[in-house]
Structure 1
Amino acid sequence: MTAPIPDSDGALAATQAALGAEHAAVWCCGLATAFLPASAAQPLADAALAHRQRRDALLARLEASGQQPVPAAAAYATPRPVTDAASAAALLVTAEDDVAGAWRAVLERTDDRDLRTTGVAAMTAATTVGRRWRALAGITPTVPTMPGTAPTG
């Protein structure tokens, strides 16, 4: 990703929001590590690495464009307290859903081939990884009907 991000049609704001979602997902993976069983360690490490790689690529692209990337927060508010494996997995579901939603917004606002390729890959990964965390948290269905959209009901 080397071309500037256009500042029209909300593409830049959506890209910054996707960066923010990736920052948060990295943080959530770190928190969840303390609560998930050992059997989830490798999938969690793989998910965290994918989020870090997308985050770092976005940081580099924004900086190369002369934009100030949105910084990571020191910590993030969780929707519910994280106290066990199920609540940690539910937090990861929220993080993956947020990532999918943020990247969907990028897809809706840009024609940039690199951003679109990254966005489709990010949505696919968030849906695939989210399925694992939904199963661990006891959330059904394990795959959302429309990945990247706010859950209904």
Structure 2
Amino acid sequence: MRGCSDERRRIASGAPEPSIAGDAWRGGRAGPVVSEAEIEGLQAALRAEHSAIWGYGIVGSSISPETRSVVRDIDAAHRARRDELADLIRLRGSDPDPAEANYELPFPVGDPAGALQLAALLEAGVAQGYAFAVSQATTQRAKGFALAALTDAALRQTSWRQLSGVAPVTPEFPGL
């Protein structure tokens, strides 16, 4: 095919269009090559987000009034990440795991101190979910998304630990 552009050669050969994200391609169909392990890693992170969203409802009802707006912002961030995760999972041909109707609290929460401790624990769980997602990721998009979310969760966990007076303020290896 002399004189043809690279794009025309690609179309004539039936090759898939290159990915903007740089992900590998599956056979002849468009879509990133992903493993079942990557999907399970994303599902684990999604389950952690579901749990955190539920838990922040408890935190918000027990936290001091001056901290409630922070809790609302964090809850909104978790909801946005949950929605992004669900989209990533759907793009990989799987159905996102649904949230549970209820979650068990690790301890009774009825005052601001308990709410701060629960918030730190929720972020530890989210960090753990994303650490697993990073370890299972086979595409750059999933790995980058999970790593950014792991970092955010670790920073929030550190903030909650500092506010609640837990020492050390930073966990040694967030998510692990």
TM interval, short-chain normalised: 0.7 to 0.9
1:75 equivalent in structure 2? 102
Selected match of 2:55 from 12, 24, 28: 28
1:58-93, Cα deviation, whole Å (9 max, x unpaired): 112222332121100112101111111111111111
1:118 and 2:145 are equivalent in the alignment:
yes
Deviations 1:113-149 (A, max 9, x none): 1211211211111111112211232211111111111
In the other structure, the counterpart of 1:6 is: 34
Is the CA contact 1:35–1:84 (under 8 Å) kept in the aligned structure 2? yes
**How many residue pairs align between the two structures?**
148
Paired residues of 1:5 and 1:12 also in contact (CA < 8 A): no
**Cα deviations by residue, 1:36-61 (Å, 9 ceiling, x for unpaired):** 11221222122111111110011122
* 8 Å Cα contact 1:5-1:62 kept in structure 2: no
- For the residues of structure 2 that align with 1:21 and 1:91, how far apart are their CA atoms? 14
CA RMSD of aligned residues (A): 1.9
Residue number in structure 2 paired with 1:138: 165
Per the normalisation by structure 2, the TM-score is: 0.77
Structure 1: which amino acid aligns with 2:34? P
User: Which amino acid in 1 is paired with 2:137?
Assistant: T
Once residues 32 and 164 of structure 2 are traced to their aligned partners in structure 1, the CA distance between those partners, rounded to angstroms, is: 40
Could you say which structure has the larger radius of gyration? 2
Larger deviation, residues 51-60 vs 129-138: 129-138
Q: Which of these residues, 125, 146, 149, is aligned with residue 98 of structure 1?
A: 125
Partner of residue 156, structure 2: 129
Counterpart of 1:7, as a letter, is S
Contact 2:51 2:99 (8 Å CA) reproduced? yes
Runs of 4+ in 1 over 4 A off after TM superposition: 1-5
Letter in 1 for 2:35: D
Aligned match for 1:84, one of 77, 88, 111: 111
Q: Structure 2: how far apart are the matches of 1:43 and 1:115?
A: 27
Identity of aligned residues (%): 32
Opposite residue 15 of structure 1, the aligned amino acid is L
Q: What is the CA–CA distance in structure 2 between the aligned matches of 1:104 and 1:63, rounded to whole Å?
A: 21
**How far apart in 2 are the matches of 1:37 and 1:135?**
15
Task: For residue 28 of structure 1, report the CA deviation from its aligned partner.
Answer: 0.9
Equivalent position to 2:68, from 32, 35, 41: 41
Does the Cα contact within 8 Å between 2:35 and 2:138 map onto a contact in 1? Answer: no
Give unmatched runs, 5+ long, in structure 2: 1-20, 24-30
Q: Which structure 1 segments of 5+ residues have no match?
A: none
Cα distance change on mapping 1:4 and 1:35 into 2, 3 Å: farther
Question: Is 1:15 equivalent to 2:42 in the alignment?
Answer: yes
